[in-house]
Amino acid sequence: MTDTQTGSTEPDVVDILTADHRDMLELIGQIEGAADAERRRDLADTVTAEIMRHAVAEEMFVYPAVEEHVPNGADEVEHDKREHDEIVDLLKQLEGVDASEPRFMELVRELEGQLRHHASDEETDQFPVLRTHIPREQLVALAAKVENAKKVAPTRPHPHAPHSELFHKTIGPGVGMVDRLRDRLTGRSTG
Ligand SMILES: [Fe+2]
Ligand SMILES: [Fe+2]
């Protein structure tokens, strides 16, 4: 978003997260269009890593801001985290299904539906309120924190990992390192 006073075009946290949502849905579209199972598996691993990084970064830095600044923020965050859990659960199921089985595409479509719903909740209800209530410098600073968190966040689904900020800031990076090691050893392209 362009700041009207300074003319700055530096992305704020809402720009980053909205672009993430678009990228995820674009990857899902690619899975749906992929002819061979190996390519579908590859894309599914990539989108899984993208979603995990995004969700963890949101929980670490964005949802605390929602709780603080958005009316009924605590309730909204609880609802959002529940949806993250459902998404992580789907990702876990997807990890265990062969990409040549019909079940694989069923799960991909279910995931697409959940992602669309969740992204539209955030983009329509929460992000505009953040921009109204938080000064732009803070939103830009949050963008940097989110980008950094994404670098160390887990890349694989861990359905029973606690959601607390403390967990993500202390144990989370360790889990992320182990995930990345496994990604490299198994040749996953998760970035
Ligand atoms: Fe979210
Ligand atoms: Fe999001």
In one-letter notation, the amino acid at residue 187 is G
pLDDT at 153: 83
Q: Is residue 6 part of a domain?
A: no
Q: Across all residues in the chain, what is the average pLDDT?
A: 89
Mean pLDDT of 37-49: 96
Cα 57 to ligand 2 centroid, rounded to whole Å:
9
Structural domain span for residue 70: 13-185
Does 191 fall in a domain?
Answer: no
Q: Give the domain CATH number at 89.
A: 1.20.120.520
pTM surpassing 0.75? yes
Instruction: Find the 80 Cα to ligand 1 centroid distance in Å.
Output: 6
Mean pLDDT, residues 6-20: 88
In a domain, 90, yes or no: yes
pLDDT in tens, 158-184: 877 766 666 677 667 778 877 888 888
- Residue 75 is assigned to a structural domain of this protein: yes
Q: Which of 186, 158, 159, 147 is nearest to 61 (CA)?
A: 147
* Residues less than 5 Å from ion ligand 1, measured at CB: 58
Residue 113, domain member (yes or no) = yes
Residue 162 CA to ligand 1 centre (angstroms): 15
140-149 pLDDT, tens digit per residue, is 999 999 999 9
Residue 50 lies in a domain: yes
Cα-flanking dihedrals φ and ψ of residue 70, to 5°? -95, 135
- Burial of residue 47 (CB within 10 Å: 0-12, 13-18, 19+) is buried
Q: What is the structure's pLDDT at 106?
A: 98
In this structure, is residue 1 part of a structural domain? Answer: no
Number of structural domains in the chain: 1
Q: Hey, is 98 helix, strand or coil?
A: coil
Q: Is residue 128 part of a domain?
A: yes
Residue 178's pLDDT is 79
What digits encode the pLDDT tens for the residues 77-120? Answer: 999 999 999 999 999 999 999 999 999 999 999 999 999 999 99
Separation of 183 CA from ligand 1 center, angstroms? Answer: 24
In the prediction, which pLDDT does 16 show? 98
CA of 81 to the centre of ligand 1 (A): 7
